[in-house]
Structure 1
Amino acid sequence: MKKIGSFFYHVFLIFALLGVLFVPFSFRYLDFQNQITRFLFEDLILFIGSYFEKISISNPEITSDSTTLYLLFLLLFVLAFAFRTFISFFDFWKINKNLILNTIQIVLLYYLACIMLKYGFDKIFKAQFYLPEPNILYTPLGMLDKDILFWSTMGTSYRYNLFMGLMEVIPALMLFYNRTRILGLFILFGVLINVVSINFGFDISVKLYSLFLLLICFLLLVPSLKKLAQFFILNKPSLLSPFKGSDLIFSKSKRFILKAILLLFIFMECLFPYIQKGNFNDDNSPRNPLHGAYEVVKIEEMKTAKSTLNLHLKRIFIHRNDYLIFQYADDAMEDFYLETNSPNELTLKNYNGQKIKLEYKYSKDLKRLELYSSELGLKIHSKSLPWKKLPLLQPLFHWTVDEIH
């Protein structure tokens, strides 16, 4: 029974290593990873998808929680199982098994630290849970999806983002030192359980990847579980063993150089973009000059009007990512990609590639925006709404309920 348990532990370690190598992640300086994965696995994944009628693949790209990502994980597990079975017949494995397993653990450890630091600093600098956009703030609560609702709620609190970020950054930093490594993993395991619960509870499309990170954390804790149980449950003193994979391969000086290179990469990946921009709070990032919410006051139709646009407009929003969004009387939304051609001309492009040119006038003093299209024969008058003054965005805090009015 013990041999079977060890066998599957080895399989999962190899599976996790393959996941580190081939599961696409949005690294800033390792963008070739996705290309390698597509080259090696995309055709096979599409073949499997076409072979089974119940498997539906709408997009061949391997993205978060896509069918292709599920199939990729399945393939990696099959490969890990086959590799572990195959290599057991060789003396090389029997002689170097502990060295190989310890080295895999070290790779998983640094990978987990890098990912958690990246997510943690993204929270600290408000890049993950950013300030809700005006179109979200003016959408009725019941019309929001749960993931957008959670994302937007988190984005309203800088202090909670800071707390969540530190709860990921501090234990991730602890993984770099032998003395604090197990404690860091123990804390991260609790953090990742919470992350997985949020992703499932609010239908956020990072379920599979967050489970993968939780698996890595658990696998790294497995060798210490017995001693942790003795300490926490039986109140017995226990001595935890550090990972020694790199100790057996490299000398102390080479380990120092390798660790420095890894830390430099992690620093470049997690912190350099913020240092480069000089902005450590996304709430203060520059926006489009027209960014905001506008209430439609009047729509003028020319005699030559040939608009197919719904004229029951209620509001207009300019999104930070260069989108113009119309909100209609029934609160339905329609968005267009926005291109600024000149100081007084815009181009809207829909998802079919059709373009509409608009002239605009914006008065900062009067807080008015006028949009005119000779092509559609329309002129839209709107006034700026004080969206930043909405109660949700106010830094309110009350020690007692008596302070709430």
Structure 2
Amino acid sequence: MNNTSIETTQWSITEKVSFRFFFTYFILFIFFNNNGAYPFYGYINQFLNNFLYTFIPWVGKTILGISYEIKTGPNGSGDTTYDYVLIFTILLISIITTIVWSVLDRKKTNYKKLYYWLTVALRFYVGLMLINYGLAKVIKSQFPYPSYNRLNQTYGESSPMGLAWTFLGFSKGYNLFMGIAEVAAVFLLFRRTLTFGLIITLATAANVMAVNYFYDVPVKIISTHLVLMSIFLLAHNFESLYKFFFFRKPITLSDIEKPKFKKGIKKTLLVLKILILFYALPFTLYLSSQGGGESPLKGYYEVKEFKVNDSIYSASDTTRFNITKWKSMLIESKRWMKIKKANDKSNWYNIRLNEKENKLILSKYMDSTEVYNLRYKEIDTANFIVRGSLKSDSIYIKFNKTKDYRKNYLLTNRGFHWINERPFNR
């Protein structure tokens, strides 16, 4: 369809007002919640956050009357008070913008050109984000195998999210299945395959949203918006799909109308699309693989001997040193490990490993001041020693190491069976 027909199509008042709201809301949401979708957007986001980390808490306290501290910055949750206040702010701005826009632009016939560019933004936002998540499942970096700590918990001790992560992390095959379904969002990046891709993507995103809601996974805001955006993109073919599925009528699916571009602009857009696709597949796969895989020090380590400043650590030493006695540590990932201390609290630490020099640097998650500079020595397959320092204190720990702990559990050694003479439900 040419530009003349695009510009002369008359939209109803409801269509125009609705579009103004959705255009403003979705663009603002993408702008403030990129979540790794658009390439290199994180650099821009750093400047935005300098403003938002002050403004959003102000909105929460002044307009919504929130009395407690609104914490900012990433912490692994996408459903913090800050995130919900940000959504409220986006919604409020969208309503005000829609009113002002409707008053100032009453004579506009339609917004088909803007609609096209909005669909481009949504297609690439939803598509690239799901490709990102999908590749993390294909190489199994999002859901790790059940850890030693998980295997030693009862079902009742695990959180709903922990139960979901155990269920999803158990099977490499199911991760591959989920990953392929999410990577199928690549069809969203092409107008001719958009409807086919949206049918798969909507089902996939709805399932992710359901898991997030019903297993208390703190990514409810993002997953809900992926579903809403998919529905919005599919809306222009709702009537045709309704006739096909419920009345068995022959239909023709329509493409989103594309403005007519000059030859030079068309070539530029094509090059840009190719560059984005290159980012979305090989580069995103590379990023997803970082931190994936098992650590060469993988294992569960129980503390046999713990010394601080060359003295055996005793119960009365909790206030003498900067170090709390360790009970155990678990290393599985190349990037992260968990330490359980004498007070039965577990903490996550980032790992920097230098195998050539047997160096191990641990920095506590959410507390950059707690950094252990250690050297390690494997005496044999069962005995492991680390020594080093935390601030002004020296540390020496001897561990009993268990490497192949999965073979001791039914969950991890049961395997797959084509034939089951009776249900093996334990």
Query: Normalising by the residue count of structure 2, what TM-score does the alignment of the two structures yield?
Result: 0.78
Q: Secondary structure at the match of 1:383?
A: strand
**Partner residue of 1:260?**
271
**Partner residue of 1:13?**
23
**Partner residue of 1:26?**
36
Within the candidate set 194, 217, 225, 1:204 is matched to: 217
Deviating more after overlay: 45-54 vs 267-276: 267-276
**Partner residue of 2:383?**
368
Letter of the 2:133 counterpart:
Y
Instruction: Name the CA shift for 1:102/1:379 in 2 (closer, same or farther; >3 Å).
Output: closer
Shift of 1:138: 3.7
Contact 1:300 1:378 in 2 (8 A): yes
CA–CA distance in structure 2, aligned partners of residues 103 and 300 of structure 1: 63
Contact 2:25 2:91 in 1 (8 A): yes
**Partner residue of 1:402?**
421
Within 5 Å, give how 1:206-285 maps onto structure 2.
206-244=219-257, 247-251=258-262, 254-275=265-286, 285=293
CA–CA distance in structure 2, aligned partners of residues 346 and 148 of structure 1: 28
Letter of the 1:240 counterpart:
L
Instruction: Name the CA shift for 1:269/1:109 in 2 (closer, same or farther; >3 Å).
Output: closer
Within 5 Å, give how 1:120-269 maps onto structure 2.
120-170=134-184, 172-244=185-257, 247-251=258-262, 254-269=265-280
Instruction: Name the CA shift for 1:135/1:339 in 2 (closer, same or farther; >3 Å).
Output: farther
Contact 2:59 2:89 in 1 (8 A): no
Percent of residue pairs bearing the same amino acid type: 24
CA–CA distance in structure 2, aligned partners of residues 87 and 377 of structure 1: 65
**Partner residue of 2:86?**
72
**Partner residue of 1:295?**
302
Write the deviation string for residues 36-75 of structure 1: whole angstroms up to 9, x where unpaired: 4324544331221221333644312376112222222222
Deviating more after overlay: 9-18 vs 330-339: 330-339
Unpaired runs of 5+ residues, structure 1, are none
Unpaired runs of 5+ residues, structure 2, are 1-11
Within the candidate set 389, 395, 402, 1:384 is matched to: 402
**Partner residue of 2:95?**
81
**Partner residue of 2:71?**
59
CA RMSD of aligned residues (A): 3.6
Within 5 Å, give how 1:328-367 maps onto structure 2.
333-334=346-347, 343=357, 351=367, 353-354=369-370, 360-363=376-379, 365-367=380-382
Instruction: Name the CA shift for 1:183/1:395 in 2 (closer, same or farther; >3 Å).
Output: farther
Instruction: Name the CA shift for 1:253/1:159 in 2 (closer, same or farther; >3 Å).
Output: farther
Query: Normalising by the residue count of structure 1, what TM-score does the alignment of the two structures yield?
Result: 0.82
Shift of 1:120: 1.5
Give the count of matched residue pairs. Answer: 394
Within the candidate set 108, 124, 128, 1:110 is matched to: 124
Deviating more after overlay: 189-198 vs 148-157: 148-157
Contact 1:24 1:37 in 2 (8 A): no
Instruction: Name the CA shift for 1:77/1:259 in 2 (closer, same or farther; >3 Å).
Output: farther
Instruction: Name the CA shift for 1:263/1:144 in 2 (closer, same or farther; >3 Å).
Output: farther
